[in-house]
Structure 1
């Protein structure tokens, strides 16, 4: 029997099929990557604004500030129930009926796995990742950090103003609490915004010469201070002269603001170390935001501050984030008063109101200073 004649088109067909299969695999991988990136951004926005609503967002909220929860699903579930389901969980024991009514451990565990394994957020310690089989090859030899379990937090929101003006200002809001109380107070402000029918974000530059809008800004600022009475504001100002790279200057100022701010909180015992540090900035350009935060994180790491453990450093949208919006108002108020003589615009009235409420005194500024290393940090309220 004669062998069948070879088909000269067969190799081309096989190659064509192989290319199509490869393109399909690439498309699936790219789609998965986009989905993970969108999910990651949603998680960070929820945590940064203290607005967790879904089970996954609530799990992320716990993971963000609890090392034990990152390493143990039992600890994670225990903290989750205590934080979000305290009406059915007393924090000491669980009955069989209670257990049936609480969010199930498998659901919590699945959410944790997705956040850690797919979004690469709030990772467990190296030894735990080795045990779970999720440790990336390039960090298998990483040393486990000696870190105490129950840590407080420095949650710092940062914004800047005056990049093209005579003075550069970097302002920050320091939140030292976390958990259900913070979420509850944030929701009270959210409810107030909805009840007032307010649809705009509270951005200083968006204020028009409208008395009603000005009053809403003032009321928002006052309400926030009432709900978060223990927050602090810190600012650092520099004479913007002789600098060719303003972005680098802002990175320097942000680093000094955070570093000196931590020293102040620790030395005054208002919020002593050890603590986790997380830093949130208003999102502008993803690439430059990431580089800026990585540079600050690297410099803080090199300082080897005893008891300081670096956590989330990320840029998030100000949308639905009242903490970023408050930081914008504070920083922009400083910038307004530094650069604008009173003109009768409602922005002048708002700036004076904010600086009075936070206790900022422009007379204390060293307006000639243009050395970021020696710039003074003002600790207010």
Structure 2
């Protein structure tokens, strides 16, 4: 036996084992990174500014231009969280204000590790010429552009109608998020069976938890004073397009029609930023998320120029957000109505059907019908500011 060869082969075995262990460790680190990124995002949406990282993330979220400029980010931080006013800073004041190095380190961690609020281009951070300095001054003094938050889910991939449903938060998102969290915590104390996460598929057919689900959506709808519910459903059998490409199109067409309605009704005024979140699906690829995101960016640029910009597009685990859970229930209820009840009118109804009927009645959903081929053409005709379902058949 060649002892030298055996030693080399044993070393190769160890290398393979170590590589496998390294991969497992890397996967665990990646999962932890994603979890922390999602938690930071939720904290920002809930208005948490108790920590340096949430303060800086809040500015990056509200003022996207600061994502490319540490100096502009620092000035905004001084103005918003340290009440600095004026165009000059005394030596004494410099010792009181947060330093650029600390702000830049936190910004880098948010963008590079958690991959949130990323800049749109590579930026030279040193040796700026006068033109670049003037540009940063403009960024630092530019007022904030308000944003709309859209929480969405997709359903019906294997059915006749493909559906994207959404919850639109036009204002006071932090208050609604906090109210949902506090209400859920209180209910959990009163009833240990209260679910940590609401999912339509976890609604029991026998109705054992039906009332809890009704209470949840009733509370969300009652406390959402500047909230709208919008869904779009398309008969995919009438279009020659893959389901992923169709749903990518639906994410944009939904927001296009919705912005048109909200603008014409006077509930919003452009310009606006759009923060868009979808329910994360099992096995969902980063490529598909980037495709949807790029589609939104390109279409906003074509149809709205600078008046509508994508602030962020994220795929969120539903357990991280009660509003994603509301979007899941809303979308699944529509799926139940148009893909199941209409196809099986003689079928025995269960608690899922009762919940879908309850939600339709609670929201008083307005249903508008069009031809499938009109999906990219129709103008909004909705008269209901609360809930609208656009069906293309």
TM-score by length of 1: 0.72
Task: Work out whether 1:191 is the aligned partner of 2:188.
Answer: no
Partner of 2:297: 297
2:158 equivalent among 164, 170, 179: 164
Distance 1:268 1:131, change over 3 A: same
Distance 1:77 1:31, change over 3 A: farther
Shift of 1:113: 3.4
Shift of 1:352: 0.9
Q: Deviations over 1:140-164 (max 9, x none)?
A: 9xx99x9852111011112121122
Q: Deviations over 1:48-74 (max 9, x none)?
A: 573558653453244212347643224
Alpha-carbon separation, structure 2, partners of 1:193 and 1:156:
26
1:131 equivalent among 125, 129, 150: 125
TM-score by length of 2: 0.70
8 Å CA contact retained: 1:43, 1:60: no
Shift of 1:218: 0.6
8 Å CA contact retained: 1:234, 1:380: no
Shift of 1:289: 2.8
Alpha-carbon separation, structure 1, partners of 2:55 and 2:295:
30
Partner of 1:113: 108
8 Å CA contact retained: 2:74, 2:100: yes
Shift of 1:90: 8.6
Alpha-carbon separation, structure 2, partners of 1:253 and 1:259:
10
Unaligned segments of structure 1, at least 5 residues: 1-19, 82-88, 94-99, 135-139
Distance 1:215 1:101, change over 3 A: farther
Shift of 1:231: 0.6
Partner of 1:365: 369
1:257 equivalent among 220, 245, 254: 254
Alpha-carbon separation, structure 2, partners of 1:309 and 1:160:
22
RMSD: 4.1
Partner of 1:201: 197
8 Å CA contact retained: 1:202, 1:325: yes
Partner of 1:86: none
Task: Work out whether 1:245 is the aligned partner of 2:245.
Answer: no
Task: Work out whether 1:271 is the aligned partner of 2:268.
Answer: yes
Alpha-carbon separation, structure 1, partners of 2:186 and 2:203:
19
Distance 1:332 1:132, change over 3 A: farther
Partner of 2:209: 213
Q: Deviations over 1:343-380 (max 9, x none)?
A: 33011111011111222145x434x6354224676665
Shift of 1:110: 3.8
Aligned residues: 334
